[in-house]
Amino acid sequence: MGRPTVRDDLRALEGYHSPQLDVTVRLNTNEAPAAPPVAFAEAVAAAATEIEWHRYPDRGATELRRRIAELHSVDGVTVDPSQVFVANGSNEVLQTVLLTFAGPGRTVATFEPTYALHQHITRLVGAVGVEGQRNDDFTLDADEIRSVVAEHRPSVTFLCSPNNPTGMVDPEVLVDVALDAVDAVDGLLVVDEAYGQFNPTSAIGRIADDVPLVVSRTYSKTWAMAGARLGYLIGPAWLIAELDKVVLPYHLDAMKQAAGLAALDFVDEMDERVAAIVEERGRVSARLTELGCHVWPSGSNFILFRPPSGDGAAVWQGLVDRSVLVRNTASWPGLDGCLRVTIGTAADNTVFLDALADVLGSGD
C-alpha cells in the first residue's frame, strides 16, 4: 500500500510553529497574563447546564452576533448584527475570508514583517501570496501600499494594526490609502485588529456596504480566552452573508457561543486588565531601554526589542536556561536579532527583566 499524494502546492509547506517549552515564565504567545474573572467561569458552567446538547447549535449564533454588534456600537458607530461574522478564532475568520475571496488563481498581499498566518492561510487556500515590505524601522509607506496593490492586483490585502510581531500601530491614514488602492482593483482590505483593545483607534468606524473593508478581532488576547478559540469579523452585511455560505454549517458549537456571550458581561474587568497591561508595558519598556536594548514603540500587549549584542538567539537561549520563554524572532525575515516578549503579570515581568539583566551581564 502506498501513501496518497499531498496537493502539489502544499508539498513544501511547513506547518505553523509556535514552540512551547516547559519553563516557569511563558511570555511567548501574547496571551493574557491571567485567567478571566472567576464569575465568568461560573457563568459558563451555569450556561452549560442549559444547553440542549442533543440539538445542533444556533447556526447563526444570533445572540452572540447581537451582543458583539452592541459592544462595537459606541462613539457614534453603529454595528448591526448582520455585519458580524463569528468563527473558531480569528484564524478561522481569516481562512473563511480567504476561501471566499482568494483561492486558486487569486493573489493576497501582506506587508512584512507581519503576522505569519496571513501568508500561511493564503497558501492553504491555494492562493498566491505577495509580500510588500515595511521600512527598516517597521513603519509602512503609503507608496508601498499603492505600488504593491497596483502591480499585483490582489483580491485580498492585509493590514495588521497594532502589528504583530512589531507591536506598532499604523497611522489611520494608511487605511484610507489602502482602501483607495484596493477599490481600484476590486479587492478587499482586511484589517487584523487582534490587539485592537490596546489602541484607541479602530477601522471599524469606516465599515459600510459600499466600502471594501472588513476588520477582524479575537477573544484570544484581551478577553483572556485563547483556550476557547473564538474570533469575529465586522464588515458589510452582504459580505458576511457570503462568508456564511462558505464556512462549514454549525461550525460554532453551543458551548463556545455561551462562553463568548458570558465574556461580554465583563467588559469593565477587561478594560481594567488592559490598563494594567499598558502600565506594565511602560515599566518593561523603560527597563529594556535601560539595559541597552533597542525597543520599538508598542501599542499592544507585547514588545519587540533587540538586545545590545544584536545576538537575539543567544539571549533567547540564556533566558530559556533561566526558565523564561519569549518568542525567538531573531531569524525571522527583517527581524534580525530581535526578540518579542509578551507583557505578563508584574511578577513574571520582573522575573524576565532580572533574567535578561543577568544574561546581558548587567545584573545590578
Residues that bind ligand PLP (CB under 6 A): 30, 89-91, 115, 160, 164, 192, 194, 218, 220-221, 226, 231
Nearer to ligand PLP, 92 or 287 (CB): 92
The x, y and z cell numbers of residue 307, run together, are: 538586545
Residue nearest ligand PLP, CB atom distance? 89
Q: What minimum distance in Å lies between the beta carbon of 328 and ligand PLP?
A: 16
Nearer to ligand PLP, 32 or 194 (CB): 194
Q: With 0-12 CB in 10 A as exposed, 13-18 as middle and 19+ as buried, what is 1? A: exposed
Q: What minimum distance in Å lies between the beta carbon of 260 and ligand PLP?
A: 12
Nearer to ligand PLP, 89 or 299 (CB): 89
Query: With contact defined as beta carbons under 8 Å apart, do 193 and 203 qualify?
Result: yes
Backbone phi, psi, residue 256, to 5°? -65, -40
Nearer to ligand PLP, 36 or 231 (CB): 231
Q: What minimum distance in Å lies between the beta carbon of 231 and ligand PLP?
A: 4
Q: What minimum distance in Å lies between the beta carbon of 290 and ligand PLP?
A: 27
Pairing of strands 231-234, 213-218: antiparallel
Sequence-distant (≥ 6) Cβ neighbours of residue 236 within 8 angstroms: 83, 207, 208, 209, 210, 211, 213, 214
Residue type, 134: R
Sequence-distant (≥ 6) Cβ neighbours of residue 265 within 8 angstroms: 40, 43
Q: What minimum distance in Å lies between the beta carbon of 342 and ligand PLP?
A: 10
Nearer to ligand PLP, 157 or 218 (CB): 218
Q: What minimum distance in Å lies between the beta carbon of 55 and ligand PLP?
A: 26
Which H or E element spans position 42? helix 38-50
Q: DSSP label at 310?
A: S
User: Could you tell me where the beta strands, DSSP code E, fall in the chain?
Assistant: 25-27, 84-87, 107-112, 128-133, 156-160, 188-192, 213-218, 231-234, 294-295, 302-306, 324-328, 339-342
Q: What minimum distance in Å lies between the beta carbon of 195 and ligand PLP?
A: 7
Nearer to ligand PLP, 233 or 293 (CB): 233
User: Could you tell me where the beta strands, DSSP code E, fall in 231-313?
Assistant: 231-234, 294-295, 302-306
Nearer to ligand PLP, 162 or 187 (CB): 162
* Angstrom distance (rounded) from CA 139 to CA 111: 10
Query: With contact defined as beta carbons under 8 Å apart, do 107 and 130 qualify?
Result: yes
Q: What minimum distance in Å lies between the beta carbon of 232 and ligand PLP?
A: 9
Nearer to ligand PLP, 192 or 348 (CB): 192
The x, y and z cell numbers of residue 5, run together, are: 499524494
Nearer to ligand PLP, 202 or 355 (CB): 202
DSSP H helices, 51-156, are 62-72, 89-101, 116-124, 142-152
Query: With contact defined as beta carbons under 8 Å apart, do 173 and 139 qualify?
Result: no
Q: What minimum distance in Å lies between the beta carbon of 329 and ligand PLP?
A: 13
